[in-house]
Chains A and B, each alone.
Chain A
Amino acid sequence: MGSKWSKDDALIWLSGGALVLGFLMVAGLILVIVVHGLGRFWPQELTRYVMHDGRVVLGHETSRASVRTTGSTGERSRAYRLRVRTGDRRLYPQEYIWLEESGVAGRDAPREAVVVEQVRGGDLFGYLDSFEDDGVVVARGYDAVWAHYRERYPELERLRRQQALSIVLTSTDGRRHAVSLASVQRIYAPNTMTAWTSVRHYVGSAWSYLWAPPRDENRLGGVYPAIFGTAAMVILMSVVVMPFGVLAAFYLREYGRPGPFLNAVRIAVNSLAGVPSIVFGVFGLGFFVYFLGGTLDRLFFPADLPEPTFGRGGILWCSLTLALLTLPVVIVAVEEGLAGVPRELREASHALGATRFETLWRVVVPVVLPSILTGLILSVARAAGTVAPLMITGVVAFSAELPVDGAWPFVHLEREFMHLGFHIFDTGFRPDGGEAFLPMSYTSTLLLLAIVVSLNAAAIGLRSRLRRRYSVAAA
């Protein structure tokens, strides 16, 4: 290694660049999700834009795009346009507007600007004007209305039913808009918030995202039913896949004699692992939903026909479909564990007169228990992140009912359900007007990613601990 360099070393260096590039791209995409997903709950400052043409706009900037312009003398330059969210259409004509940056004469953050989160519909941005009770003004002006609202806030749930109370907002162009207290989720003034109240706001919003039902076609509110549905489906799937996967792995490693049958089973596992997930969905629709479900309906629910009970998509069919999908995952994980059990252990057990089953049950299973757990975690992670087959076997964008509730028979296997991954698809894949749904889908994407990655990290950690134990035992 002198100062003379060879082309070879440069090429090695470049191939390292390929490795780094792949990682950085994935890391970059994940970073975008994290930033957007986490930033959403932070109260955003409301800016008042005063334009040169006298227009006044209240809202917050969501993005800044560059546009090329050609001046009158032919010189080219770059101008910027601001994408500004102006809130719900009930107050302003459009929820999102473009502003030419060059047209902005001035901007400030008025203290009295408030955000009114509505139960139905988006947020309203405006100024507090008055508090009315049945058309009679009770309080007027920012401070009085705010005090009045704060006083009533603890009993907001009860007040919702009273249509008489309302808060009047003024828009930037001086129009007045009355919002019934019945439709107010909460009101906050982002421009007066301190760091501490912002943090409280953040935690509160994140909490209600996790535990509240969705509002306004999944655009607002929380994802509790989706989290619940995903968890219920994954648990149901595990109950099915674990016994089968473990048994099949035992057959492959412990009981099966080498021969054509063992080979056939092995080929079956490999083929199952290679089938695209969407094909499992098609199989699930043809076999589980229409064949099994249709048969169940004819046998047990003939009174309801032609209205199907089990003969349509539902959580049971989804979990069975995903059980097929994750079967190879479990088998591979358990097999790996079985392969790591030292032969001496088995031989010692056999030498003491134990049968194969006794050896398996008393000696091998306790040792491979962590591997079985690894298989469970990996299959759960896989199932939680798989969406395509569910789209045709019973997942829905919105469902008012949970698959498990207090009504007899408590577990409703035939019900359609909400799923976190499908929630991302539903909110993120909208041909038009999708912009307003994006904050929601970013957060859900982050949540799903966090769940899947932490499950996988747990499985990897578990496995590496296991390997270390064996290598110590072998040494």
Chain B
Amino acid sequence: MTDRTRHRRMDRRRLLDLLVGRLAALGGVVLILTILSVFAVILWVVYPLLLSPAEYRWGVSGPDGIDAGYRILPLIFGTLKGAVYALLFAVPVSVLAALYASQFLPRAMKERLKPAVEIMAAVPSVVLGFIGGVWLAPYLASHVFALFLAPVFISGVVTAVFLIRHHAPVSFRAFNPPGREIWLLMVAVLAGGWLALECGTWLETAWLRAGYETWFEESLGLTYAQRNAIVVGMVMGLAVTPVIFTISEDALSAVPRSFLEGSMSLGATRWQTALRIVLPAAGTGILAAVLLGFSRAIGETMIVLFISGNVPVMDWSAFSGFRALSASVALDLPNAARDDTLYRVLFFAAFLLLVSTFAINIVAELVRRRLRRRYA
């Protein structure tokens, strides 16, 4: 091989290397352009609205003098209401679960838990929305008392099982050895739920004359809509639980071992350490997790579409429905003619969703970065 051919070959190799490098960089440029164009395209449609008086933007009246019949404010309210109820359910469940998983669950169990959470996160929201709207909402409507009794009964039975287990003779330990507590817990939770169901039905029959709907109206002044904020909260809560759980669990597990050792050596119990040392130390991480869960709940479409009832009412009642921005876009945009007022108002709704989730995600990312730096 002469020197010249070797050089030429080298050049070709370098050229290919350079070319692929540029191509990869182009991939990066395309990515940046993509996210920018998402903003640009939506803004392009929205900007005539932004320039016009505020009442057009909020859909109180249209620029062409025709009322688009669209009020944005109740939709914003609905979105917030749905997200708040989802978090009311998801935050206690997922943060407590993450605390348990990170501090008290045996390693082998935790390894098995991870794929299960991942599968749970993968359940499509249309599936959750469908089963929530078609099965859970009517079911809860006929078991309202059980719904209220459930938290009390489940925690009661779980505590009772704990006491039994604690006071039981040692031979019981062979039945449910340490490290396998989770199976016993499963039985306890199921038993609590079943008991709540039975007692709720019994109570409703024995106590109320004419069914809970009438009782609700007469005694509490509330109307019970079958598709309401509680059902949305439960189902959307389940949808965001994996998000909050995973990130909180990471943050809680990242707390340095020395913190735990220091706390325990000073005589703190395992729970005291978890609650007073580990939880605060991972506080920012959990905050980030909750923020991300909130942003997921804001943008969630199919679940609110199926379960919220899509009625634009503005009250915080747990037993009434609402209409969310995302559901409105999905329902009404297919019927909107290009460039008319409704079209622009719905793009504005999407714009609000985009901006708010974007802002929340950035804040969450900053919070997480600070946490990472602290323990790095």
Instruction: Give the B-binding residues of A (Cβ under 8 A).
Output: 3, 5-6, 8-26, 29-30, 32-33, 36, 65-68, 70, 76-78, 244, 247-248, 250-252, 254-256, 261-262, 264-265, 268-272, 274-283, 285-287, 290-291, 324, 327, 355-358, 360, 381-382, 384-388, 391-392, 421, 424-425, 428-429, 438, 441, 445, 448-449, 452-453, 456-457, 460, 464
- Shortest C-beta distance, A9 to chain B (Å), equals 7
Question: Which of B48-56, B59-67, B258-266, B268-276 lines the interface with chain A?
Answer: B268-276
A250, B27: Cβ atoms closer than 8 Å:
yes
- The verdict on B99 contacting chain A, using a C-beta distance below 8 Å, is yes
Structural contact, B120 and A26, CB atoms closer than 8 A: yes
User: B130, A424: Cβ atoms under 8 Å?
Assistant: yes
Q: List 25 A-B contacts (CB under 8 A).
A: A3-B166, A8-B270, A8-B271, A11-B271, A14-B96, A16-B100, A17-B185, A19-B96, A19-B97, A22-B97, A24-B190, A68-B209, A248-B30, A250-B27, A264-B32, A271-B358, A271-B361, A276-B300, A278-B301, A324-B38, A392-B330, A421-B124, A424-B127, A429-B133, A448-B127
Q: Which of B256-313 contact A (CB under 8 A)?
A: 269-272, 274-275, 292, 295, 298-302, 305-306
Q: Known contacts A265-B28, A286-B42, A449-B127; is A10 also within 8 Å of B189 by CB?
A: no
Q: Which of A12, A280, A424 contacts B271 (CB 8 A)?
A: A12
Cα separation A385 to B329 with both chains bound (whole Å): 19
- A19 interface neighbour in B28, B101, B358, Cβ under 8 Å: B101
B17 touches A278 (CB 8 A): no
**Contacting residues, chain A, for B126 (C-beta < 8 A):** 385, 387, 421, 424-425, 445, 448
Determine whether the beta carbon of A357 is less than 8 Å from that of B21.
Answer: yes
A388 CB contact (under 8 Å) in B92, B104, B298, B301? B301
Task: Select from chain A the residue with minimum beta-carbon distance to B131.
Answer: A29
For residues 121 through 176 of chain B, which have their beta carbon under 8 Å from a beta carbon of chain A?
122-128, 130-136, 142, 154-155, 158-159, 162-163, 166-167
Contact B205 A276 (CB under 8 A): no
Q: Is the CB of B347 within 8 A of A286?
A: yes
Which A residues lie within 8 Å of B193 (CB)? 24
Q: Are A24 and B131 in contact, CB atoms less than 8 angstroms apart? A: no
**Distance in angstroms between the alpha carbons of A78 and B201 in the assembled complex:** 10
Task: Give chain A residues whose Cβ lies under 8 Å from the Cβ of B122.
Answer: 381-382, 385, 452-453, 456
A8 nearest CB neighbor, chain B only: B271
Residues of chain A within 8 A of B130, CB atoms compared:
424-425, 428-429, 441, 445
Name the B residues within 8 Å of A421 (CB-CB): 124, 126
Across the interface, do B185 and A428 meet the contact criterion of CB distance under 8 Å?
Answer: no
A429 proximity list for chain B (CB < 8 A): 130, 133, 305-306
- Contact of B118 with A456 in the complex, beta carbons under 8 Å: yes
| Interface flag for B333 (CB, 8 Å) | yes
B329 A392 Cβ-Cβ under 8 A: yes
A279 and B142 contacting across the interface, CB-CB below 8 Å: no
**Could you list 18 further interchain pairs (A-B, Cβ under 8 angstroms) beyond the known A16-B181, A282-B347?**
A9-B166, A11-B275, A12-B104, A18-B94, A19-B101, A19-B182, A20-B186, A68-B210, A70-B210, A78-B201, A251-B24, A275-B35, A275-B358, A291-B41, A357-B13, A385-B125, A388-B326, A438-B134
CB distance from B186 to the nearest CB of A (A): 5
A356 touches B31 (CB 8 A): no
**A256 CB contact (under 8 Å) in B23, B28, B182, B298:** B28
A144 to B216, CA, bound (A): 59
Pick out which of these stretches binds chain A: B68-76, B218-226, B315-323, B349-357.
B349-357
- Are A251 and B25 touching (Cβ within 8 A)? yes
Q: Which of A18, A23, A277, A452 has the most CB of B within 10 A?
A: A18
Shortest Cβ gap from A144 to chain B (Å) = 43
B88 — which chain A residues lie within 8 A by C-beta? none
With A76-B205, A286-B347, A356-B17 as given contacts, are A18 and B96 in contact (CB-CB < 8 Å)?
A: yes
Q: Is A388 touching B302 in the complex (CB atoms < 8 A)?
A: yes
Mask, B201-216, CB within 8 Å of A = 1, is 1001110111100000
Contact A279:B306 (CB < 8 A) given known A12-B270, A20-B186 = no
Whether A286 pairs with B44 at a CB distance below 8 angstroms is yes
Contact A26–B124 (Cβ < 8 Å) = no
How far is B353's CA from A425's CA once the two chains are assembled, in angstroms?
Answer: 22
CA distance A392 to B124 in the complex (A): 18
Q: Which of B41, B96, B131, B292 is A283 in contact with, Cβ under 8 Å?
A: B41
- In the assembled complex, the CB of A429 is this many whole angstroms from the nearest CB of chain B, namely 6
B300 — nearest CB in chain A belongs to which residue?
Answer: A276
The docked-state distance in angstroms from the alpha carbon of A17 to that of B42 is 45
Provide the bound-state CA to CA distance between A355 and B19, in Å.
12
For residue B347, which residues in chain A have a CB less than 8 angstroms away from its CB? 282, 286
Closest to B95 in A: A18
Q: Name the one of B13, B188, B362 contacting A358, with C-beta atoms under 8 angstroms.
A: B13
Contact: A286 with B41, CB < 8 Å?
A: yes
A13-B158, A33-B131 given; A252·B358 CB < 8 A: no
Question: CB-CB < 8 A to A356: which residues of B?
Answer: 17, 20-21
Structural contact, A355 and B14, CB atoms closer than 8 A: yes
CB-based contact A457/B119 at 8 Å: yes
Please, which residue of chain B has its CB at the minimum distance from the CB of A361? B20
For residue A288, which residue of chain B has the nearest CB?
Answer: B41
Q: How far is the CB of A278 from chain B (nearest CB, A)?
A: 5
Report A359 CB to chain B, min CB distance, Å.
Answer: 9
Interchain CB contact under 8 A, B353 and A279: yes
**With A and B bound together, what is the CA distance between A24 and B154 in angstroms?**
12
Q: How far is the CA of A33 from the CA of B127 in the complex (A)?
A: 9
A-B residue pairs, 3 tightest by C-beta: A276-B299, A385-B124, A247-B27
The minimal Cβ–Cβ distance linking A453 to chain B, given in whole angstroms, is: 6
Q: B93 interface residue, CB < 8 Å from A?
A: yes
Residues in A whose Cβ lies below 8 Å from that of B353: 276, 278-279
A17 to B99, CA, bound (A): 11
B346 adjacent to chain A (CB < 8 Å): yes
In the bound complex, what is the Cα–Cα distance between A77 and B24 (angstroms)?
A: 73
Chain B residues within 8 Å of A438, by CB: 134
| Among A8, A16, A255: residue with most chain B CB under 10 A | A16
Q: Which of A251, A275, A460 contacts B115 (CB 8 A)?
A: A460
A77 CB contacts on chain B under 8 angstroms? 205
B195 within 8 A of A: no
CA separation between A135 and B27, bound complex, in Å? 73
- Known A5-B163, A23-B120; contact A276-B269, beta-carbon cutoff 8 A: no
Contacts of B354 in A (CB 8 A): 275-276, 279
Indicate if the CB atoms of A66 and B330 lie closer than 8 Å. no
Q: Determine if B238 is an interface residue (Cβ-Cβ < 8 Å).
A: yes
